[in-house]
Amino acid sequence: MKVLIQFEKKPLLFQDPEFIISCDNPSSFAACFKDIESALERGYYIAGFFSYEAGYCFEERLLENKTYSFPLIYMGAYRAPLRDKVSIKNPSFQNSLKGLRLNISQDNYFSDINTIRDYIAIGDVYQITYCIKLLFNFKGDPLSFYAELLREQPVPYPAYIETDEFNILSLSPEMFIKKTSGHVVTKPMKGTWPRGNNMISDLIAPFCLKYDRKNRAENVMIADLLRNDLGRVGMNIRAPKLFEVAKYATLCQMTSTVTGRVDKAISLYGLFASLFPSGSVTGAPKMRAMEIIRKLEKEERKIYTGAIGYITPDKDMFFDIPIRTLLISNGSGEIGIGGGIVWDSTPQGEWDEGMLKAKFLTDMSSL
């Protein structure tokens, strides 16, 4: 198992693990956390991922006694990462991405958006982050393809994971959690706007997003949810930055920052149980949103909207939220596409936004 973390342009390469900690059934979920804690106490670094479905295991109301088709937890225990001098070689052969297709028809998608609006209308939820998948066939070298995608669209929280069974290529612009001693930062992302098609429209696009009523409402709702979640285990909870907009190759996105303080020796299980999965990928209120997501979405999200990152022996940690993240196995691949649905959402508007988010990949397809 190889884990390449390139968050904030500070690369760490974890390779040749001493052992793997993993599970695909809730019955061994809590034991995995104990194993992680034990490994940290013995001086190991932990690096890998939690799938989105791991979030169901923290709540008895959401728990299902089943074996999942993808690991809930997959973490390697490493002596130490390689730092700084991490490079990716570019092989001479061409990567090929073909056969792009969605796992849902547009009519069924529209129907699901209207169903979510019905839940919102009766006050069951305020927002749902609803996801579909883009499927494709892949031929080539996943690591070089990851490097190619990253060159085309630089992002602040990219990561690459290689195992014997699958490869994960995460081109994520969203931070989940960064813990340094007792200080915790999380940056929920909500709000999307297309780049302009000329110099003037591109210049004003970030301002259009920042002051758009619907996107601001989505963003502040999730920032409040993260403040509440972090407040379950922390103190001095603040939101020092709201409605920050960043430009990417094909779109603009908006984040807010929530901070707090926790016991620097807090149990990993307790911290993740309070925050995972991020409210930015579920909606609000979180528990009910996750129930509706499981009912409406056609299949497991797997790595999409889970968490990728690492934990140091002194329990510092850094994880992204794997959006814009490809999962490739045996020549087949998938990528999740999601968006926050609120009362003001329209089926066509959400569909268009989803296609915009996938553009960084679909533009590279050879059909």
What is the reported pTM? 0.95
What pLDDT is recorded for position 84?
67
Burial of 331 (C-beta count, 10 Å sphere; 0-12/13-18/19+)? exposed
Residues of the chain with pLDDT under 70: 84-87, 89-93, 365-367
CB proximity list for 164: less than 8 A, separation 6 or greater: none
174 catalytic? Reply is yes
CB contact burial 37-47 (16+ within 10 A = b; e otherwise): bebbeeebbbb
Label residues 92-111 b or e (16+ Cβ within 10 Å = b): eeebebeebebbbeeeebbe
pLDDT at 367: 44
**CATH 3.60.120.10 is held by the domain 2-84+98-362:** yes
Burial 267-283 (b: 16+ CB within 10 A, else e): ebbebbbbbbbbbbbbb
The active-site residue out of 133, 179, 187, 190 is 190
Catalytic residue among 53, 162, 174, 218: 174
DSSP 111-144: HHHHHHHHHHHTTS-SEEEEEEEEEEEEES-HHH
Residue 95, pLDDT score: 87
Per-residue model confidence (pLDDT) at position 209 = 93
State the SS3 of 32-98.
Answer: HHHHHHHHHHCCCEEEEEECHHHHHHHCCCCCCCCCCCCCCEEEEEECCCEECCCCCCCCCCCCEEE
Do residues 189 and 245 lie in contact, with contact meaning Cβ atoms separated by under 8 Å?
A: no
Minimal CA–CA distance to 45: which of 73, 9, 82? 82
Q: What is the pLDDT of residue 89?
A: 63
Per-residue pLDDT at 366: 53
Q: How far is CA 98 from CA 24, 351, 364, in A?
A: 30, 21, 9
pLDDT of residue 85: 64
How far CA 354 is from CA of 82, 144, 201, 360, in Å, comes to 36, 26, 21, 11
| The pLDDT of residue 92 | 54
Q: Nearest-CA neighbor of 273 among 42, 5, 60, 76?
A: 60
